[in-house]
Structure 1
Amino acid sequence: MEVTREFRRDTVGKNGIASIRVVFCWNGHRLRMTSGEKCQQTHWNEKKQEVKDKPNAYATQRNLVLENWTKAGKSAYQDALARGRQLTPPEMKAEILRRYALLAAGIDAEPEGGPGLPPLAPQAPEFLATMDEWLEHQARKISLASGRRLNKKTVTALRRTRNELQRLAAHQGASLTFAGMSPAFYAEFRDYVLDVRGHSINTFGNHIKRLKSFLGWAEDQDITVNRRYRKFESPENYQGVDALTQRELLTLAALDLDTPAVHAYVDLHLVERRPAPADHRGGRNLLTHAQHLERLQHTRDKLLQCCYFGLRLGDADRLAPEHLAGEVARIRANKTGVLCVIPYFDDDVFKPVSLVESYAGQGLATCLPYVRQLERYLPHLQRLSGIKRVKLTSRIGRKTFATLKIYQGVPKAQVMLATGHQTERSFNRYLGIDEQELIEAYRKTARRVA
C-alpha cells in the first residue's frame, strides 16, 4: 500500500489555512480520507509530506496524527494480505478508522513480537457511501473507445440517480442495502419516481440503467448483492424528438438576414443602448449592430451545419477541411470516439458543400467560425424564421439529419454510420415524427384497386 499526505491547496482560506488529506492506494483502489488536521500553507513541507517545525505550527502533535493514519492504513493492508483477503474501499475505510482509533488511544495495532490485533468481522458496506466510491471511479474512468474520461454530463446524470436513491431512503425512513435490491424495492422505487416525484417513465428507466451499472460494479468489488437486481427492467416510452421537417429546414436555409425588417429587429432586440455595469475585470465591450448581425448569421449557419452533417455542436465546431475528402466527411466523435462517415454533397434539401464553400475564403482553421453565445441568438433566429412548432436548440440539428435521411429512404444502417450510433435502440431516440411525411410515405406504398 502507498500512503500519501496532501495539503488541500484547493481549499485554502483567506487566512492561508487548509486541511490535510491522507490518500491510500492499493490493488488499483484509491481511498481519500481527511486527517482532521489543518495547517498554514507556509508550514507544509511538500517533499516530506509533514508539517514543518515552526513557531505555532504544533508540528509534533500534527505529524503524530498523520503518522498514525499512515500506520493504520499500512497495518490494515498487511494484515489483510497475510490473511489472503482483498479489502474493498468501504471495508478498508472501516478498518483504517478502527486502527487509527486504537493508535490515538495509545494502543499499538501491531505490538512488537505479536500477531497484531485481529480485524473486526467484515460489515456490509454502506450503500450510498459505496455508490460515492463508484461515482469517483466513473469520474476517473477512461473510455476504451475514445481514450478520454467520461463526459461530465454523463457523470452528472449518474449523480442524479444517486441523489434520487438518497431521497427515496429519506422518504421511506430506511437505509438502502445491497441485500435489499429485490423486486419489492424495484416496485417501491418505480412508484416513488412516478407518483411521488412526478417524473416520466423514461426518467425511471434511465435511473434503473444506472443503478444496474452500479450494482454490477459492486459485484466486481466482491460485494454481495441480491442477484435478483439483474431482472430489473428499464422501461422506455418512445415519444419522438424535436426535429425540423423538410419544409422548416428549407425555410431556415432560405432566411435572408440582410433585409430592412431584420436590421430593425436587431436594433430593437439586440443592440444595447445603455452602458453595461462594470465587473471586476473593468467592464465589457458592447457589440455593435453589425457584430450582432454577424453572430446571428453565424448562428443560423452553425445550426444548418449540424443539420447537414448530423454532428453534435462540439464536433461541428471541430470540423475542418482535413476532414473532407471527395464526397465524404470523416470525423471521430469527441464524445464516443466513433468514426462518423458522412455524405458530403448537395441535394435539394441538404447543402453541406455550399455552406462550407461560403466560408472558404475567410482562411479559417475550421469549416465554419465558432459562435459565441449561440444559445442567446437561437430564440431570435426562431422569431425571424417564423418556426413555431419546435424550439430551436443546438441539439436539433443532429436529430433533424437522422429523421430526414430516414424519410429520404436512406437505410438506417447507413444513417447510423454517419451519426456514429452503434445500436438501433440508441439511434431510434434521435428519430422525430413528421405526420405529413408519414402520410406521404403511406400514399406512395398504398395499394389501389384497379
Structure 2
Amino acid sequence: MEVTRQLLTERAGKTGLARIQLTFCWDSQRLRLGAGQKCLPKDWDAKRELLKAKTGAAGTHVDTVNRVLDTYAEAAHAAYHEAQLSGQRLNPAAMKAAILGHYARLGQEQAGLLPIPAPPAPTPPSFTDYYHQWLGEQSRRTNLRTGQRLSKTYLDSLANSLSVFQAFAAATQHELSLAGMNKTFYQQFQEYFFEQRGQGLNTFGKHIRALKNFLGWCEENDLAVSPKFHKFEAPDQATGADALTQRELLAIAGVDFYTEHARTLVRQHYERLDAAAADTPRRRGQRRSQVDEYRILERLRSLERARDKFLQCAYLALRISDANKLAPRHLDYAHHVVRIKAGKTQLPCVVPFLDDDVFRPVALIEKYRSLGLDTCLPVGTGLDDYLPTVAQLAGLTRIALTSKVGRKTFVTLKLAQGVPRTTVMQATGHRTESSFNRYVGIDEAELVETYRKTARQVAKKGGNSVSTSTQQEAA
C-alpha cells in the first residue's frame, strides 16, 4: 500500500485555498479520496506532502491538518494489512469503506479529532466484482508478443462473456460464485446455452475460454476458487470460411460502375432515401430530394473505390486496417513482393506482388499512382456500406460481401492454385495452423474439379485416359 498526498492548486477557490487529496495505490489499483482539508499553496510542503510548520494559533491548525493526513495513511495501511490476513483482494469501493472504518476507530483514540461514524462493514466482492477487476487489468495489459495493448474488440468480447453468464444466472437462478465453478455449473450452463439460447459450439467455447482465463487469474491471486474449472472443455470446431470462388472474384473485378444499370441502381437507392424521409420534418438547409446527378456520380466513384479496396485485401491478403496503411515504401518491385508488418500481430508478412489471370495487385496500385497519395489506395472507411451494392452489380448472391471476405479469398484461392500452406502463411502472417485454418474456405465445385485434374494426370502417366480407366474398372 502506497499513500501520497496532492494539493489541487488548479482547483483553488476565490480565497486561494486548495483542497488536499489522498491517493492510495495497492495491487495495481488506485483510489482517490478527499481529506476534507484545505490550505494555501504557499503553506504546502510538496516534498513532505504536509503543511509547513508554524507557531502560535496557526501552528495548532497545521498540526490538526497534518494529523488528519497521517491518520488517513495509517488507516490505509491497517485496512490493506487486514485484507491480506483475511485473503481478500479489495476493489476500490471496498478499500474506501475499509479505510474510512479504520479512520473512524483511530479518530476516537486521538485527542482533537472528531470521531467519524463507522461505515457499514463492506460486503465481500462478488463474482461480478472480481470479473470487472480482471477486465480492468486486461485493459491495461500489454501483449508481450506485439508490444501493444489488447484490442478493444477482444476486451468487448470478454465483457460480453460476463453478460452471458449473468443472463444464465438470471434464467436458471444459479448463483455465480468462485467456489461454485464446478461440474454442476458447467453442465447447467451447457444446457442453457444450447437449448435456451440456441447458439453454436464455437461461441460456447469462446465463453468458456474467457471464463477459464478469468478463473486462472483468480487462482494466481490466491482467491478461493474451485479447482474443478480446469476440467471445463472449450470446444473449437473448424468451419469453412466465407470465401469467393475464382469466378466470383473475377466478376467483382470486372464490374463497370458507369453503365446505365449501375446508375439506375444508385438512383433507386436515393429514391428509397427520399421515400423514407417523406414523413419526417425537413431540417433547415436539408435537400428536398437526394436524387441528384452529381450525388449519383459521387456514389458511383465511392462504390468503385470500395470495390478496389476490397480487391486490395483479396489480392494481397490484407486486413482492412493494414490495407489502409499500405504505402509505396512497402512495395519491393525488384523482388516482386510486398513487405508489411501486420498491425494486429506485429508479424512480418511477405506477399507476392505479381499479376496473373486472377490476382492483379500491380495493375490495381498503378491505377491510383497518378493521385500522388501517401498510401497506395485511398483510405477506405464504411466499406461494408458499399460492398452489398458492389455484390449486387457483380451478381453475387451466395455469400454476403464484407471486407473480411477478401483476405479469406486470398488464402482459399492460393491453396487451390497449389501454393504450399507455409508460403501462404508467410503472406498472411499466421504463426499457427489452427488460426490459419479459419481463413480457408471450401468451394465444393472447385474441389471436385481439382480431383478430376489429378485423376487425369495420374491416368496420363499410366498411359490411359480417365474414361479408359473407368471402362476397365467397370469390366
Asked if 1:76 corresponds to 2:79, the answer is yes
Task: Tell me what 1:189 maps to.
Answer: 189
Which whole-Å CA distance do the structure 2 matches of 1:21 and 1:174 have between them?
Answer: 42
- Report if aligned partners of 2:251, 2:394 keep a CA contact under 8 Å in 1: yes
- Report if aligned partners of 2:3, 2:22 keep a CA contact under 8 Å in 1: no
Deviations 1:107-164 (A, max 9, x none): 549879xxxxxxxx99975222111011111111122222221111110000011111
Q: CA deviation at 1:66?
A: 9.3
Asked if 1:337 corresponds to 2:346, the answer is yes
- SS across alignment from 1:288: helix
- Report if aligned partners of 1:248, 1:387 keep a CA contact under 8 Å in 2: yes
* TM-score between the two structures when normalised by the length of structure 1: 0.78
Which whole-Å CA distance do the structure 2 matches of 1:331 and 1:73 have between them?
Answer: 51
Deviations 1:230-282 (A, max 9, x none): 22111133332211111100111111112222223333324877999559xx8
- Report if aligned partners of 1:72, 1:96 keep a CA contact under 8 Å in 2: no
* 2:437 pairs with one of 428, 436, 444: 428
Deviations 1:51-110 (A, max 9, x none): xxxxxxxxxxxx999997665433323x369x8x69664378646523423434x55498
Task: Evaluate the alpha carbon distance shift between residue 130 and residue 254 of structure 1 in structure 2; reply closer, same or farther with a 3 A threshold.
Answer: same
Task: Evaluate the alpha carbon distance shift between residue 32 and residue 172 of structure 1 in structure 2; reply closer, same or farther with a 3 A threshold.
Answer: farther
User: What letter matches 1:200 in structure 2?
Assistant: G
* 1:307 pairs with one of 298, 310, 314: 314
Task: Tell me what 2:179 maps to.
Answer: 179
Which whole-Å CA distance do the structure 2 matches of 1:189 and 1:267 have between them?
Answer: 50
Task: Tell me what 1:396 maps to.
Answer: 405
Task: Tell me what 1:57 maps to.
Answer: none
Which whole-Å CA distance do the structure 1 matches of 2:351 and 2:69 have between them?
Answer: 58
Task: Tell me what 1:374 maps to.
Answer: 383
- SS across alignment from 2:24: strand
Which whole-Å CA distance do the structure 2 matches of 1:190 and 1:6 have between them?
Answer: 54
User: What letter matches 2:307 in structure 1?
Assistant: R
Counterparts of residues 60-75 of structure 1 (less than 5 Å): 72-75=75-78
Which whole-Å CA distance do the structure 1 matches of 2:450 and 2:164 have between them?
Answer: 43
Which whole-Å CA distance do the structure 2 matches of 1:179 and 1:200 have between them?
Answer: 27
Task: Tell me what 1:40 maps to.
Answer: none
Q: CA deviation at 1:36?
A: 12
Task: Tell me what 1:261 maps to.
Answer: 261
- Report if aligned partners of 2:243, 2:441 keep a CA contact under 8 Å in 1: yes
User: What letter matches 2:221 in structure 1?
Assistant: Q
Asked if 1:126 corresponds to 2:126, the answer is yes
Which whole-Å CA distance do the structure 2 matches of 1:209 and 1:302 have between them?
Answer: 34
Counterparts of residues 196-275 of structure 1 (less than 5 Å): 196-270=196-270
Which whole-Å CA distance do the structure 2 matches of 1:293 and 1:68 have between them?
Answer: 71
Task: Evaluate the alpha carbon distance shift between residue 91 and residue 160 of structure 1 in structure 2; reply closer, same or farther with a 3 A threshold.
Answer: closer
- Report if aligned partners of 2:78, 2:102 keep a CA contact under 8 Å in 1: no
Count of aligned positions: 405
Which whole-Å CA distance do the structure 2 matches of 1:226 and 1:290 have between them?
Answer: 64
More helix by share: 2
Which whole-Å CA distance do the structure 2 matches of 1:229 and 1:163 have between them?
Answer: 19
Task: Evaluate the alpha carbon distance shift between residue 407 and residue 125 of structure 1 in structure 2; reply closer, same or farther with a 3 A threshold.
Answer: same
- Report if aligned partners of 2:212, 2:229 keep a CA contact under 8 Å in 1: yes
Task: Evaluate the alpha carbon distance shift between residue 423 and residue 2 of structure 1 in structure 2; reply closer, same or farther with a 3 A threshold.
Answer: farther
Which stretches in structure 2 are left out of the alignment for 5+ residues?
A: 11-19, 37-43, 51-65, 112-120, 459-465
Which whole-Å CA distance do the structure 1 matches of 2:270 and 2:199 have between them?
Answer: 37
* TM-score between the two structures when normalised by the length of structure 2: 0.74
Task: Evaluate the alpha carbon distance shift between residue 253 and residue 133 of structure 1 in structure 2; reply closer, same or farther with a 3 A threshold.
Answer: same
Counterparts of residues 276-295 of structure 1 (less than 5 Å): 278=283, 288-295=295-302
- Report if aligned partners of 2:31, 2:92 keep a CA contact under 8 Å in 1: no
Task: Evaluate the alpha carbon distance shift between residue 233 and residue 139 of structure 1 in structure 2; reply closer, same or farther with a 3 A threshold.
Answer: same
Deviations 1:366-404 (A, max 9, x none): 010013432221121121111010111111111111111
Which whole-Å CA distance do the structure 2 matches of 1:66 and 1:342 have between them?
Answer: 62
Which whole-Å CA distance do the structure 2 matches of 1:181 and 1:234 have between them?
Answer: 14
- Report if aligned partners of 1:6, 1:22 keep a CA contact under 8 Å in 2: no
Deviations 1:281-315 (A, max 9, x none): x8799962332121111011001011111111111
Which whole-Å CA distance do the structure 2 matches of 1:72 and 1:6 have between them?
Answer: 20
Task: Evaluate the alpha carbon distance shift between residue 331 and residue 80 of structure 1 in structure 2; reply closer, same or farther with a 3 A threshold.
Answer: farther
Which whole-Å CA distance do the structure 1 matches of 2:210 and 2:398 have between them?
Answer: 33
Which stretches in structure 1 are left out of the alignment for 5+ residues?
A: 10-19, 38-44, 51-62, 113-120
Which whole-Å CA distance do the structure 2 matches of 1:109 and 1:191 have between them?
Answer: 55
Which has the higher Rg, Structure 1 or Structure 2? 2
Task: Tell me what 2:419 maps to.
Answer: 410
Deviations 1:6-30 (A, max 9, x none): 99x9xxxxxxxxxx99753235x11
Task: Tell me what 1:30 maps to.
Answer: 29
Q: CA deviation at 1:5?
A: 8.0
Task: Tell me what 1:349 maps to.
Answer: 358
Deviations 1:195-218 (A, max 9, x none): 122211111011011111111222
Task: Tell me what 1:16 maps to.
Answer: none
| Cα RMSD (Å) | 3.9
Which whole-Å CA distance do the structure 1 matches of 2:345 and 2:337 have between them?
Answer: 20
Which whole-Å CA distance do the structure 2 matches of 1:435 and 1:80 have between them?
Answer: 65
